[in-house]
């Protein structure tokens, strides 16, 4: 009847009349499907969810040791052997599925109801501490005592003038052991016995404190371990652990960088700002030929009033046929803190404006760059950035002076104009800056005539009237100055040409630092010049142009070789 129903259902889908073998296979398949559906329905109705696999085994009549032979299924068109195998396979699949579900529910219930094991550490409290060794009283009738006093090492006669230790053979005069006491002590102990008792007590107290700390550590470790094992499995725990290590490393790096910044951000240091070029300025305007120059403004980053620390202006140049201006001008910044923002403003003025007239400046764009990280870590940086609207208006002078009047400041289109500049920090090992006092005598450094702000950098020493002045008053190369140190007075004598300057510093450490750096830099410059002269003389000798010096006819060949380049350089400079 089942087979006929299946044939009636599938007859529209068949092309032609099905064969008897196909009808038997289809009938067996429909029978197996119906058996599986009945088994699943019975299991869902009669086996509660909380019983799981044991309830299913009980329903099927299967014990732990084995299962009784299953009853024979009714015969069908597919044959008795095929029907028996299909029923057993379906029942086995259903049993295994129910067992897996029960195991999964039991595991989840165990995870939900997990409680960490509490270990009782009260037994650790009853630990045997190191005992105090109580000394025995000295037995006068058996043992003898010393004859000499423990303090003055003289004979101490028995009597009222002598005190005896209760626990050892030490004796002492009463006046030596108890100088402030007017009567003889009934019980007296020497320093060694007192130290022995105090040491025993100290060891006992330390052992008790260490033991209590160990108990506290074990309890806390057990609690933390139980909480971690309760909420985290092994693989998530390992992932969490790796993440915590990475997070800890990132936090430590951030903390180290913060400490480094706090320690060195406010340190003042010199550096160079070089304006290289302005690119893509566009075609010439109808107003006539223009001269372009850049204004470099250094403003502290944390300054709310935008007070300019230093400001430099390049020379005015014309643009070339491709619309570019090659400036290539370098500026030495005496010293600033690391929190500095560099603003480079590109302006132009009409060509041929007289010096006594104030020209009308045209604004062409501005770019900015924060120098804090590069100054902090002594990194050279080259900035090639597009210009834009002004973020800072240049001043006529550094400080709070009025702004420079410019036209076209509010324009929004700047085309493809770019500004290229770089920042090069000065080496920290050979650089020094700070105040120096100019004195009037080499015998004393207290007669101060003037105070200079000095900067030792790039093989030169610069003298500024004030720290805020961008232009030095004097700039002497170290290779051509005469250096003399007056050790007794602490005065440094510098001589360059026909000028002599006596400087000193009130602090001894800073004065010694100035002297050591001046000596090392001057020696390095002289060694460099000597090497250069030797190479030049060697090249001239190989070329066959070696000749004696005219002003030293009695000089040796080595001296003539060294003097030849000097004469050549003088003739070139005169020409």
The dihedral over CA atoms of 172, 178, 182, 186, expressed in degrees to the nearest 10, equals -70
Letter string b/e over residues 461-476, b meaning 16 or more CB atoms within 10 A of that residue's CB: bbbbeeeeebebeeeb
Residues in the chain: 575
**pTM reported for the whole predicted model:** 0.52
| Residue whose tokens read 């050790």 | 487
Between helix 2-10 and helix 20-46 the angle, nearest 10°, is: 110
Q: Per-10-residue mean pLDDT for the chain, 575 residues long? A: 41 48 70 74 66 58 48 47 71 90 88 67 64 78 86 85 88 86 76 88 86 82 75 72 89 92 88 91 74 90 77 88 88 90 90 74 90 90 90 78 78 82 90 91 85 89 89 88 87 90 90 89 83 84 52 35 30 29
Model pLDDT, residue 304: 67
Give the integer Cα–Cα distance in Å for 209 and 460. Answer: 65
Task: Write out the two tokens for 218.
Answer: 């074990």
Beta-bridge mates of residue 246: none
Residue 522 near residue 478, CB atoms below 8 Å: yes
Task: Write out the two tokens for 523.
Answer: 């020696």
Task: Write out the two tokens for 32.
Answer: 């197996």
Q: What is the DSSP string of 378-435?
A: T--EEEEEE-BS-SSPPBSSTBTPPBPPEESTT----TT-EEEEEEEEPPSTT-EEEE
Model pLDDT, residue 368: 92
- Give 291-311 pLDDT, tens digit per residue: 898 999 999 887 666 788 889
Give the integer Cα–Cα distance in Å for 327 and 316. Answer: 9
Stretch (H or E) spanning 450: strand 448-457
Model pLDDT, residue 42: 72
Give the integer Cα–Cα distance in Å for 324 and 417. Answer: 9
Q: For 320, how many CA atoms within 13 A lie in the half-sphere containing its CB?
A: 9
Letter string b/e over residues 7-43, b meaning 16 or more CB atoms within 10 A of that residue's CB: eeeeeeeeeeeeeeeebbebbbebbbeebbeebeeeb
CA 524 to chain CA centroid, nearest Å: 35
Model pLDDT, residue 572: 28
Beta-bridge mates of residue 133: none
- What is the set of domains in the chain, with CATH numbers? 2-112 (no CATH), 122-231 (3.30.40.10), 269-425 (2.60.40.150), 432-538 (2.30.29.30)
The dihedral over CA atoms of 41, 45, 51, 53, expressed in degrees to the nearest 10, equals -20
């Amino acid at each position: 009847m089942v087979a006929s129903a299946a044939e009636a259902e599938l007859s529209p889908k068949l092309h032609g009349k099905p064969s008897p073998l196909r009808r038997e296979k289809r009938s067996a398949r429909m029978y197996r499907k119906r058996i599986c559906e009945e088994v699943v329905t019975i299991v869902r109705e009669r086996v509660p969810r909380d019983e799981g696999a044991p309830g299913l085994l009980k329903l099927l009549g299967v014990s732990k040791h084995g299962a009784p032979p299953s009853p024979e299924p009714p015969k069908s068109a597919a044959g008795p052997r095929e029907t028996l195998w299909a029923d057993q396979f379906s029942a086995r699949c259903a049993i295994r599925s129910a067992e897996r579900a029960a195991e999964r529910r039991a595991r989840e219930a165990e995870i939900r109801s997990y409680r960490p094991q509490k270990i009782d550490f009260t037994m650790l409290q009853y630990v045997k501490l190191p005992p105090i060794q109580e000394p025995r009283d000295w037995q006068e009738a058996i043992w003898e005592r010393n004859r000499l006093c423990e303090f003055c090492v003289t004979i101490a006669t028995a009597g009222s003038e002598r005190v005896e230790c209760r626990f050892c053979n030490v004796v002492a005069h009463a006046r030596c052991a108890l100088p402030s006491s007017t009567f003889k002590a009934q019980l007296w102990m020497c320093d060694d016995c007192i130290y022995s008792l105090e040491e025993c007590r100290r060891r006992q107290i330390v052992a008790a404190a260490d033991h209590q700390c160990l108990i506290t550590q074990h309890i806390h470790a057990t609690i933390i371990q139980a909480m971690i094992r309760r909420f985290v499995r092994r693989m998530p725990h390992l992932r969490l652990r790796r993440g915590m290590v990475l997070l800890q490393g990132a936090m430590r790096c951030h903390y180290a960088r913060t400490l480094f910044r706090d320690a060195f951000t406010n340190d003042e240091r010199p550096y160079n700002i070089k304006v290289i070029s302005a690119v893509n300025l566009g075609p010439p305007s109808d107003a006539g030929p223009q001269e372009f120059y850049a204004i470099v403004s250094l403003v502290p980053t944390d300054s709310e009033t935008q007070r300019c620390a230093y400001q430099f202006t390049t020379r005015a140049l014309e643009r070339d046929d491709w619309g570019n201006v090659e400036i290539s001008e370098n500026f030495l910044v005496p010293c600033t803190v690391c929190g500095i923002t560099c603003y480079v403003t590109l302006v132009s003025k009409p060509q041929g404006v007289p010096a006594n007239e104030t020209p009308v400046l045209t604004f062409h764009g501005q770019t900015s760059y924060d120098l804090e990280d590069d100054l902090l870590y002594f990194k050279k940086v080259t900035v090639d950035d597009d210009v834009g609207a002004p973020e800072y208006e240049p001043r006529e002078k550094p400080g709070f002076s009025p702004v420079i009047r410019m036209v076209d400041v509010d324009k929004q289109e700047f085309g493809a104009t770019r500004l290229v500049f770089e920042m090069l920090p000065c080496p920290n090992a050979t650089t020094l800056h700070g105040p120096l006092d100019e004195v009037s005598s080499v015998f004393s450094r207290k007669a101060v005539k003037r105070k200079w702000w000095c900067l030792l950098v790039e093989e030169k020493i610069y003298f500024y009237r004030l720290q805020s002045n961008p232009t030095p008053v004097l700039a002497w190369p170290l290779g051509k100055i005469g250096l003399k140190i007056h050790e007794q007075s602490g005065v440094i004598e510098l001589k360059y040409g026909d000028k002599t300057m006596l400087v000193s510093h009130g602090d001894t450490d800073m004065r010694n630092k100035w002297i050591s750096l001046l000596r090392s830099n001057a020696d390095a410059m002289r060694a460099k010049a000597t090497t250069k002269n030797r190479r030049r003389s060697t090249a001239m000798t190989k070329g066959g142009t070696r000749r004696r010096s005219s002003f030293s006819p009695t000089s040796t060949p080595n001296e003539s070789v060294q003097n030849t380049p000097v004469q050549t350089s003088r003739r070139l400079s005169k020409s």
